[in-house]
Structure 1
Amino acid sequence: MAALAETRKPAGGRIERIATFIRRCRGEPAVVQTLRATAAATIAYAVALWLSSEPAPLTAPLTALLVVQVTLYSTLTTGIRRVNSVVAGVLIASAFSVLVGLSWWSLGLIILASLAVGYTVRVGEFVPEVAISAMLVLGVTRVADTAWDRVLETLIGAVVGLLFNVLLPPVWVGSAGESLAGLSRRMRGLLLSMGEELSSPTTVETAAARLHEARRIDDDIAEVDAALRQAEDSLRLNPRVREGLLNRVVLRTGLDTLEICAVVLRVMARTMTDLAVQRREERLFPTEVGRALEELLAHVADALVSFAVLVTSQVSASAEAAERRLAGELASASAARERTAELLLDGVRRDPRHWQLHGALLTEIDRILDELDPGHRSRRLLEELDRGAREQREKHPRLDALRRRAEERKHRRTARH
Structure 2
Amino acid sequence: MPEMISSLAHRVARRRREPVAVQALRSTAAAVISYVVALRLSNEPSPLTAPLTALLVVQVTLYSTLTTSIRRVNSVVVGVLIAIGFSALVGLTWWSLGLLILASLAVGHLVRVDEFVPEVAISAMLVLGVTQVADTAWDRVLETVIGAVIGLLVNLLVAPPLWVGPAGAAITDLARRMGRLLDHLGEEPLGPAKVEQAAARLHEARRLDNDIAQVDAALRQAEDSLRLNPRVREGLLFRLVLRTGLDTLEICAVVLRVACRTLTDLAKARPDRPLFDAATAAALREVLRHTAVAVESFAQLITAQVTANAEEAEARLTAELAVARDHRDRLAELLRTSAHEEPAQWQFHGALLTEIDRVLDELGVDKRSQRLLEELDHHTRTHRPVGLRERLTGRRRRNPQA
> Which bin holds the TM-score, normalised by the shorter protein?
0.7 to 0.9
What residue in structure 2 maps to residue 327 of structure 1?
A: 318
Q: How much does 1:150 deviate?
A: 3.1
Q: How much does 1:352 deviate?
A: 3.9
Aligned AA for 1:242? Answer: R
Q: How much does 1:192 deviate?
A: 0.3
TM-score (structure 1 length as normaliser): 0.83
Q: Of 91, 96, 116, which residue of structure 2 is paired with 1:126? A: 116
2:186 match: secondary structure: helix
**8 Å Cα contact 1:268/1:364 also seen in 2:** yes
C-alpha distance in 2 between matches for 1:97 and 1:56: 23
Instruction: Give ranges in structure 1 of 5+ residues lacking alignment.
Output: 1-6, 402-417
1:333-348, aligned counterparts within 5 Å?
A: 333-348=324-339
What residue in structure 2 maps to residue 48 of structure 1?
A: 38
Aligned AA for 1:42? Answer: V
Q: Of 285, 306, 328, which residue of structure 2 is paired with 1:294? A: 285
What residue in structure 2 maps to residue 409 of structure 1?
A: none
What residue in structure 2 maps to residue 37 of structure 1?
A: 27
1:87 matches 2:77: yes
What residue in structure 2 maps to residue 238 of structure 1?
A: 229
Q: How much does 1:202 deviate?
A: 6.6
**8 Å Cα contact 1:214/1:269 also seen in 2:** yes
1:262 matches 2:253: yes
C-alpha distance in 1 between matches for 2:238 and 2:131: 49
Residues 1-24 of structure 1: CA deviation (Å, up to 9, x unaligned): xxxxxx44444554455556556x
**8 Å Cα contact 1:89/1:134 also seen in 2:** yes
Q: How much does 1:266 deviate?
A: 0.9
1:175 matches 2:175: no
1:278 matches 2:278: no
1:384 match: secondary structure: helix
Q: How much does 1:89 deviate?
A: 2.6
Cα gap change, 1:283 to 1:46, in 2 (>3 Å): same
Q: How much does 1:245 deviate?
A: 1.6
Cα gap change, 1:378 to 1:116, in 2 (>3 Å): closer
What residue in structure 1 maps to residue 59 of structure 2?
A: 69
1:283 match: secondary structure: coil
Say how many residue pairs are matched: 387
**8 Å Cα contact 2:192/2:271 also seen in 1:** no
1:196 match: secondary structure: coil
C-alpha distance in 1 between matches for 2:339 and 2:185: 21
Cα gap change, 1:347 to 1:112, in 2 (>3 Å): closer
1:356 matches 2:350: no
**8 Å Cα contact 2:298/2:317 also seen in 1:** yes
What residue in structure 2 maps to residue 371 of structure 1?
A: 362
TM-score (structure 2 length as normaliser): 0.86
Over the matched positions of the two proteins, sequence identity in percent amounts to 67
Instruction: Give ranges in structure 2 of 5+ residues lacking alignment.
Output: 391-402
1:354 match: secondary structure: helix
2:305 match: secondary structure: coil
